[in-house]
């Protein structure tokens, strides 16, 4: 299948933020000066992985070329003009402050109890099993309220528990409980 290359533009990389995946991999995202690209306003671009950041010596202040790959995902292409800022890579996990480990083109958080990693594991389960209306933000609120620490905790939630979360009222809490209950009968295929 032919893929349309897409329009590219130049912008300034303001900073690199790192998040933890469910596999413990630290993923870099470039916060950029907002630019219109293929009909959308872009302020964040994927920087792929540590290998890409390192190979291109990416740092805040760099002028970079970005593209909307397939007219959807904003991605880093190249450095147009490097800045004089220092090249910085994280030494500690942004979620749990554990020391990270560089393995080939990736940076890993090895902490099995990392809250960021745990959140992504639970969020992945929510998406796969089809629990509707339970967003990443709501999940984070449930984790912060110590109502959810692992996947089984989702099935212990009550409507009253959910109503302790910001902007969740009676109707939404019952809807969420119903959505969770429906997944108890999910096929294992």
Structure tokens at 124: 């992945």
Three-class SS state of 189: coil
SS3 string, 63-115, reads EEEEEEECCCEEEEEEEEECCCCCCCCCCECCCCCCEEEEECCEEEECCCCCH
Q: Of 161, 186, 17, whose CA–CA distance to 93 is shortest?
A: 17
Quick: pLDDT tens for 100-118: 999 999 999 999 989 999 9
Distance CA 128, CA 147 (A): 21
Q: Which residue has the tokens 């998040």?
A: 19
DSSP 1-65: -------EEEEEEEEEEEEE-TTSBEEEEEEEEEEEETTEEEEEEE---HHHHHHTT--TT-EEE
Three-class SS state of 151: helix
Structure tokens at 127: 């998406």
DSSP 107-143: EEE--TT-HHHHHHHHHHHHHHHT-TT--HHHHHHHH
Statement: residue 2 has pLDDT above 80: no
Indicate the pTM of the whole model.
0.78
Confidence of residue 188 (pLDDT cuts 50, 70, 90): low
Q: Mean of the pLDDT values across residues 133-156? A: 91
Distance CA 163, CA 26 (A): 33
Question: Which whole-number Å values give the CA distances from 15 to 65, 73, 142, 189, in the listed order?
Answer: 15, 19, 29, 42
Quick: pLDDT tens for 89-99: 999 999 999 99
Distance CA 88, CA 50 (A): 11
**pLDDT at res. 1:** 53
Confidence of residue 60 (pLDDT cuts 50, 70, 90): very high
Structure tokens at 49: 């992985």
């Amino acid at each position: 299948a032919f893929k349309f290359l897409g329009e590219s533009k130049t912008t300034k990389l303001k900073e690199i933020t790192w998040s933890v995946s469910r596999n413990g991999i630290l993923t870099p995202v470039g916060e950029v000066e907002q630019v219109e690209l293929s009909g959308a306003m872009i302020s964040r671009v994927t920087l792929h992985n540590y290998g890409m950041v390192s190979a291109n010596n990416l740092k805040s202040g760099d002028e970079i070329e970005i593209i909307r790959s397939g007219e959807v995902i904003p991605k880093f292409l190249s450095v147009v003009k490097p800045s004089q800022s220092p090249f910085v890579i994280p030494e500690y996990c942004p979620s749990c402050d554990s020391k990270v480990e560089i393995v080939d083109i990736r940076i890993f958080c090895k902490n099995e109890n990392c809250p960021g990693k745990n959140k992504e594991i639970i969020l992945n389960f929510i998406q796969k099993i089809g629990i509707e209306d339970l967003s990443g933000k709501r999940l984070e609120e449930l984790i912060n309220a110590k109502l959810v620490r692992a996947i089984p905790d989702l099935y212990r939630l009550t409507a009253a528990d959910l109503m302790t979360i910001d902007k969740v009222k009676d109707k939404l809490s019952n809807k969420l409980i119903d959505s969770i209950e429906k997944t108890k009968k999910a096929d294992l295929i």
